[in-house]
């Protein structure tokens, strides 16, 4: 019987899993990875972008984060169209919450970039605590691609749980 080669996405997941065996570290990742993605998206979203008047009321939705979203969703698509589609939904939900942060900032709350920076720092501290507990260094220290793999690594568990082939 011929054995089929693993898809690149599964090779990445196997490599990523090597430094994510400890239950506590995995739990921390379920909390911190989405927070890091959210906060990074929010910080990039907050970078001033030229106003494109022809977009009318939707002009604020085109920003530097749009390019980050396009790049990451395309990269995910090359690995798994299903995971790419799911990440697009996750990013859409995160974008909604960033818009709520913008409204809060407009009503006198902290700036979006500041809120996201605090979340980013706290979440990375959590990640490094998780890896200290694990006793292994984070995967991205060997290959920066693993910064992009973490979010879909979590999504692939959801796919497996519900029986969705990714």
CB contact at 8 A, 46 and 112: yes
On whether residue 37 sits in a domain, the answer given is no
On whether residue 136 sits in a domain, the answer given is yes
On whether residue 89 sits in a domain, the answer given is yes
Q: With 0.75 as the threshold, say if the pTM is over it.
A: yes
Specify the number of domains making up the chain.
Answer: 1
On whether residue 30 sits in a domain, the answer given is no
Give percent of the chain with pLDDT exceeding 70: 98
Q: Which residue has the higher pLDDT, 72 or 2?
A: 72
pLDDT value at position 107?
Answer: 98
Convert the pLDDT of each residue in 87-125 to its tens digit: 999 999 999 999 999 999 999 999 999 999 999 999 999
Identify the sign of the CA torsion 145, 117, 125, 151.
negative
DSSP, residue by residue, 64-133: HHHHHHHHHHHHHHHH-HHHHHHHHHHHHHHHHHHHHHHHHHHTT---HHHHHHHHHHHHHHHHHHHHHH
On whether residue 8 sits in a domain, the answer given is no
Q: 3-state DSSP call for residue 56?
A: helix
Which range of residues forms the domain containing residue 132?
60-166
On whether residue 159 sits in a domain, the answer given is yes
On whether residue 46 sits in a domain, the answer given is no
On whether residue 34 sits in a domain, the answer given is no
Convert the pLDDT of each residue in 38-73 to its tens digit: 999 999 999 999 988 898 888 878 899 999 999 999
Give percent of the chain with pLDDT exceeding 90: 82
């Amino acid at each position: 019987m011929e054995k089929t080669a693993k898809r690149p996405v599964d090779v990445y997941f196997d490599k990523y899993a090597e430094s994510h065996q400890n239950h506590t570290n995995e739990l921390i990742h379920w909390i911190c990875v989405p927070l890091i993605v959210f906060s990074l998206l929010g910080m990039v979203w907050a970078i001033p972008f030229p106003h494109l008047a022809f977009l009318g009321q939707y002009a604020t939705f085109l920003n530097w984060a749009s390019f980050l979203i396009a790049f990451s969703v395309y990269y995910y698509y090359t690995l798994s169209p299903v995971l790419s589609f799911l990440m697009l939904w996750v990013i859409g939900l995160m974008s909604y919450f960033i818009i709520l942060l913008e409204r809060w900032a407009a009503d006198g709350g902290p700036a979006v970039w500041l809120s996201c920076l605090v979340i980013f720092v706290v979440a990375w501290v959590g990640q490094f605590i998780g890896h200290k507990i694990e006793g292994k260094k984070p995967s991205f220290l060997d290959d920066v691609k693993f910064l992009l793999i973490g979010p879909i690594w979590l999504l692939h568990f959801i796919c497996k749980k519900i029986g969705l082939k990714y």
